[in-house]
Structure formats: structure tokens, C-alpha cells
Amino acid sequence: MLQIKNLTKIYDGGVKALDNVSFEVPDGQFLAVIGLSGSGKSTLLRCINRLIEPTAGQILWNGEDITAASQEEMRRIRRKIGMVFQHFNLVHRSKVITNVLAGRLGYVNPAWSLLNRFPKEDVEKAIKQLQRVGIAEKAYQRADELSGGQQQRVGIARALMQDPKMVLADEPVASLDPVLAHSIMSHLEDINKNDGVSVLCSLHFLDLVHRYADRVVALNEGRLVFEGLPKDIDDNKFKEIYGRDAERVG
């Protein structure tokens, strides 16, 4: 169980990106995070693995306080939290397999990383993850030779390498065309349903939310404005989340 308690983030410039946000995510849930761009979705997800330091509040994961963890403890926590990004964030000039193996960095001894060595089991495992997302034949190509959809699958394989208990996906399909979106989302669904991994996924399109999410939280200017089931988002709620002028399509 992930518990977010009164989380607030104020950036150096004074922007209040998160304002006293509290909610809970039971293990194994697929949670969608929605909101306009600039509403604080990315900030929220990055606070959970402390890529961004929260200004105030608490994040408890299975009782452990992530916000109070030391550097050493953070390394151990992070390796159990996979992350998937809107712009994939692969290392372009490295091979696909190296990008996937990077998911093991939280486990391998840093001294061996100096020599760029991974245990043999890890390499085998990396190939397996690539097979799972359907691009094993690309393993030894350079990452930037792949199309967007393929790159995002590498991103998912990298997250899978971590043996994650939770995956944070920050608009994983926003830079892909709609046809590919479903293929990427179904990989996340597969991880969620079959491996029992919690997924926190920020999304733009409500139809994807309806199709994949168990539950939804909505942010507006850093405040939590909705928390509930996807089907509970009626027209009123919709306008509250997306603003008075928003039109509901589809």
C-alpha cells in the first residue's frame, strides 16, 4: 500500500506544483492520474521515487517512510519502483540491451559497473524482457534506430528488469500515435494484472482511463480535485477537473 499524506511541492521559483495532496493506492491497483498539463502530474510521480524532493508531507510505502529515507535506503527503494517516461528517456547511443540492463543498476555492485559488466543471468533476463514486449530482435541495435513505439517498449523492459513492485508511468503514450497507445497500455495492463504490480499512470485521454484504470485521481493546479472510479467522472466533475471551457469529446 502506498500512502501519500499532505504532499506539497513548491519549486525554487515559488510555483506551488502540489498543494496538500493525500490519497492511497492499494497494492496491485492500476491508478490513473489525470489533469491539465501543468497541473502537477509529473511532479507527483517524481516525488514518489524522490527524483524531486517534496517540500512537505509524507509518502509511506508498505509502512516505510520514503520521504525520510537515506541515500543508501533510497537506492534500495528505487530499485523496486520502475519508471516509464513520456519521452522514453533511453540513452540514444547505447544499445537496446544496455538500456534494458540499466534497469539492474540498483542491484549490481557499482564497482563492476566501472568495467561495464553485468552478471550473465541479468543479460539472459534482459533478453526475456525484450521478448515479452516483442522486440527481442532489436536487442543489439542502437536505441535511437528504433521507432517511438519500440523505444517505449524498451523503456518498459527497462522498468521490468527492476523486478518492480510498483511502476510509475508519466504520460507513457502522450508522444505516440493513438494506435500504438493501446499496445503500450496493454503491456502496462499485463504487468499490472499478471505480475500484480501497482501502476500509477498519468494520462491525457479519458477513453484510455476508462479502458485501463481501476481508479482515478485528478489534479488541478496542484490540488486533488477528484478521487474515485473512472465511471464516476460526470460532466460536472469533468468541468471541475479540466476547467469551465473544456468540452467533453467521445
Ligand X SMILES: Nc1ncnc2c1ncn2[C@@H]1O[C@H](COP(=O)(O)OP(=O)(O)O)[C@@H](O)[C@H]1O
Q: Are 139 and 127 in contact (CB under 8 A)?
A: yes
Q: Which stretch binds other proteins (CB under 8 A): 80-88, 195-203, 211-219, 232-240?
A: 80-88
Q: Residue 191 CB, nearest distance to other proteins (Å)?
A: 16
φ/ψ (deg, to 5) at 138:
-95, 5
* Closer CB to ligand X, 36 or 108, in the complex: 36
Segment lying near ligand X (by CB under 6 A), choices 10-18, 64-72, 97-105, 233-241: 10-18
Instruction: List CB contacts of 229: < 8 A, sequence separation 6 or more.
Output: 214, 215, 216
Site string for ligand X, 108-137 (x = CB under 6 A): ------------------------------
* Among 12, 13, 63, 93, interactor with other proteins by CB under 8 A: 93
Q: CA torsion 131→133→138→143, rounded to 10°?
A: -140
Stretch 35-94 residues interacting with ligand X (CB under 6 A): 35, 37-43
Integer Rg of the chain from CA: 18
Q: Of these partners, Mg ion, other proteins, ligand X, none, which one is at the site of residue 117 (CB under 5 to 8 Å by kind)?
A: other proteins
11 near ligand X (CB under 6 A): yes
Told to check if 140 binds other proteins by CB under 8 A, we report no
Helix (H) or strand (E) holding 29, with range, is none
Residue 39 engages Mg ion in binding (rule: CB under 5 A): no
Exposure letters 18-55 (e unless 16+ CB within 10 A, then b): bbebebebeebbbbbbbbbeebbbbbbbbbbbbebebe
61 binds other proteins (CB under 8 A): no
Total residues contacting ligand X by CB under 6 A comes to 12
Residue 126 binds other proteins (CB under 8 A):
no
- List strands edge to edge, sheet with 30-34: 81-84, 166-170, 198-202, 30-34, 215-220, 223-228
As a whole number of angstroms, the distance between CA 126 and CA 48 comes to 26
Counting contacts by CB under 5 A, is residue 42 touching Mg ion? yes
Instruction: Give the sheet arrangement for strand 56-61, strand by strand.
Output: 16-25, 2-10, 56-61, 64-65
CA atoms within a 13 Å half-sphere pointing along the CA-CB vector of 250: 7
Task: Answer with the entry of other proteins, Mg ion, ligand X, none that 110 interacts with (C-beta below 5 to 8 A by kind).
Answer: other proteins
The correct pick among 105, 127, 136, 180 for binding other proteins (CB under 8 A) is: 105
Interface residues toward ligand X, by CB under 6 A:
11, 13, 15, 17, 35, 37-43
Residues near other proteins (CB under 8 A) are 49, 51, 70-72, 74-79, 81-83, 85, 87-94, 98, 102-114, 116-119, 122, 155, 158, 161-162
